[in-house]
Amino acid sequence: MLLPNKVTQIPYSKQSLTQEDFDAVLEVMNSSFLTQGPQIDLFEKALAKRFQVKHAIACSSGTAAIHLSYASLGASADSVGIVPAVTFSATANAFRYLGAKVIFCDVNPADGIIDLDSLQRILESLSEEQLDHCNFVSPVSFAGKVAPLKECADLSEKYGMKLVEDASHSPGGWSERETSGDCKWTQAACLSFHPVKHICAGEGGAVLTNLTEVADRCKALRSHGIVRPFDDEHPTPWKYEQVDLGWNYRITDLQAALGRSQLGKLDESINARKRIAKRYDEALSAPPFSERIDRPALTDGHSWHLYVIRFKEEGLRDQAYKFLKGLGIITQIHYTPLYHHPYFAKLVGNLRLPGAEEYFAGCLSIPLFPTLTQIDQDKVISELARFLSKH
């Protein structure tokens, strides 16, 4: 049974569920396991196959996945984690959970993706002592556009850094040399299954990796650091051992079933996102938009988690946000550079990175999700035009 959508607002994003998804969850509700049952293994196998990696470790959120990946790769209080300033808190927070130092890297003002010159400068500034420890670079494949993972890998290798892709925004994203999530250039990649993401599991996330030791450590850490080393032939098959200090980051079978059902429709949902992005691109390439708004480059490999426009004139973005909200069109700002937040400002001081500031000043994510209707999309476009005619 599909529930009616009573919401009259146009959100910036939302889950797109079908009858198949409802059935998948209901089947688990009627089964013997609500958590730690067969769905998790099935979901992990399907993820590993889809992303062409040896291991997928599903867990309770994208944040948990990032935390697990950093911890399993050896991050500690001696580590440095280099994070683009424009991302969601989780990319940086997970380093802080482990006591590591966060250094914010600048981004390209056109697309919010990590800036390689800034990364190089940061790497050159690290002391011998810092370089002796297990350090990280965490590029974010922002909005659905894969980050320059090959270049990041080249730089990371030179300085002995580990590389973890935050692929929360970018399942299905690719470029000439990179495919988001495949770990060709990275030690791990992390996914989020929050409802606004490509694959919705309610909440959930996964670590993708080709490194078996890292996968084993992630599996132990997601469940308190506990391992179950003995099979049924052993005299004490019931015995488990806590070998490390972990967390309860387990995903439930209900979530895994929903995630697996959604994963099966990933291509369909990316194609829907691409169609919507193309329609925006066509509309926004003409006046009145073209002189006053920069739009994202329409590349084949973009998987369109977000459609981020950038107002060229200062102050216009915030007025547009309010104007559209008043009409029930919900937009979002992805993201305020993390160093603006009081928590990080206390750690890094009064930092202002030019690329991140320029990007942030004009960015606005306008509605994009697979079930956005043409009527609603046309409303977004025409109200945006009306806004520009008044300002």
Whole-angstrom CA distances from 5 to 2, 14, 259, 374 are: 9, 11, 21, 17
Q: Least Å distance between CB 88 and ligand PLP? A: 4
Q: If 0-12 CB within 10 Å is exposed, 13-18 middle and 19+ buried, where does residue 342 land?
A: exposed
Between 167 and 384, whose beta carbon lies closer to ligand PLP? 167
Q: Least Å distance between CB 194 and ligand PLP? A: 4
* CB 168, CB 13: distance < 8 Å: no
Helix (H, G, I), strand (E, B) or coil at 279: helix
Between 206 and 384, whose beta carbon lies closer to ligand PLP? 206
Between 39 and 63, whose beta carbon lies closer to ligand PLP? 63
Interface residue list for ligand PLP (CB under 6 A): 61-63, 87-88, 90-91, 140, 166, 168-169, 192, 194, 205
Between 205 and 337, whose beta carbon lies closer to ligand PLP? 205
Between 90 and 221, whose beta carbon lies closer to ligand PLP? 90
Ranked by CB distance to ligand PLP, the top (closest) residue is: 62
Q: Least Å distance between CB 163 and ligand PLP? A: 16
Q: Least Å distance between CB 70 and ligand PLP? A: 12
Rg of the chain on CA atoms, in Å:
22
Beta strands in 158-300 (DSSP E): 161-166, 188-192, 205-209, 226-227, 241-242, 293-294
Q: Least Å distance between CB 190 and ligand PLP? A: 7
Q: What CA dihedral angle connects 179, 183, 186 and 189, to 10 degrees?
A: 90
Q: Least Å distance between CB 277 and ligand PLP? A: 18
| Contacts for 210 with CB less than 8 Å, ≥ 6 apart | 53, 54, 55, 183
Phi-psi region of 328 (alpha: psi -120 to 50; beta: other; left: phi over 0): left
Between 168 and 255, whose beta carbon lies closer to ligand PLP? 168
Helix (H, G, I), strand (E, B) or coil at 147: coil
Retrieve residue 57's tokens.
């470790």
Q: Least Å distance between CB 245 and ligand PLP? A: 21
Between 66 and 277, whose beta carbon lies closer to ligand PLP? 66
